[in-house]
Structure 1
Amino acid sequence: MVFAKIVETEKEYDDAIYIRRKVFVEEQDVPLHLELDEYDMKATHFVAYDGDTPFGAGRIRIAEPTIGKVERVCILPEYRGKKLGNLMMECMEDYAKDHQFKKLKLNAQSHAIPFYEKRDYVITSPEFLEAGIPHRAMEKEL
């Protein structure tokens, strides 16, 4: 069974961090000190599983009252192209709605913009570099 959920245990947190390290640090060469940051302790984390095998992760933190910041959304390469990023985002957006967020913001890697646009996020910035990777800011009214 494939599902995404809010991280509730230390093992689930470790699984989410494992996915982030595989994707961002190993695959995309983001320095570990940038990937694991001071917001990890304040954020609500999410993890996706195929049975017992983790394959996706993400987090939301409060950016401003009623505005959430979606960050660190990633799927392992072997699970991409199967609409599982949508599963991850649905879980995170449901959490945001349940917690009365009015808007979600995120910094999308430029190659992922079409994915977020299909989920009704709109671009709100010119392109910029984050960890050496081109990004654009996006947001969505909930």
Structure 2
Amino acid sequence: MYVVKIAASDIEREAAFTVRKKVFVEEQGVPLTLELDEFDKSASHFLVYDGPKAIAAGRIRNVGSDVGKVERVCVLKEYRGKHLGVLIMKALEKHAEQTGIHKILLNAQSYAIPFYEKLGYRVTSPEFMDADIPHRAMEKQIELTV
């Protein structure tokens, strides 16, 4: 049974950083100085757990009065293909809705565009390089429920 949780302590935030380091730094070669940034302190971090083990992570931060940006969504290699990306994205979107965010932005690695399109995101930019990896900007309007 997988559980999604918002990081509520330094230990949980460190668990998110550990997942991110394995995926982005070790696997994809992103420099650690780019992976961990000044936004980590203010962002809301989410984790997916398999028992006590953190296996996926992502964060969302406010970038405007009603705009959020989803970043650093990743799943450990051995857990991919189990729809954990969908699980964490739904949790990030629910958090966005609960905090008054009407639009979510993200920069998707180009290979992941079909994943985000299935979740209702649309491409809003030409391809660009970030940490030597091709990306495209995407966005989604969040319908607030009453």
TM-score calculated relative to the size of structure 1: 0.98
Q: Distance in 2 between matches of 1:121 and 1:67?
A: 14
Q: How does 1:1-142 map to 2 (within 5 A)?
A: 1-142=1-142
Between 1:118-127 and 1:39-48, the stretch displaced more is 39-48
Contact kept in structure 2, 1:107 and 1:136, CA below 8 Å: yes
Please, which runs of 5 or more residues in structure 1 have no aligned partner?
none
What is the letter of the counterpart of residue 122 of structure 1? R
RMSD: 0.6
Give 3-state SS (helix, strand or coil) of 1:129's partner: strand
- Which secondary structure state, in structure 1, belongs to the residue aligned with residue 138 of structure 2? strand
Partners of 2:63 and 2:115 in 1: CA distance: 22
TM-fit CA distance, 1:15: 0.6
State the alpha-carbon separation in 2 of the partners of residues 17 and 94 from structure 1: 22
How many residues align? The count is 142
4+ residue stretches of structure 1 with deviation over 3 A?
A: none
How far does residue 8 in structure 1 lie from its aligned partner after superposition? 0.5
Amino acid at match of 1:63: V
Contact 1:3 1:87 in 2 (8 A): no
Report if aligned partners of 1:23, 1:76 keep a CA contact under 8 Å in 2: yes
Residue 64 of structure 1, CA deviation: 1.1
Structure 2, unmatched stretches of 5+, are none
Tell me, in whole angstroms, the C-alpha distance in 2 between the residues paired with 1:107 and 1:24.
14
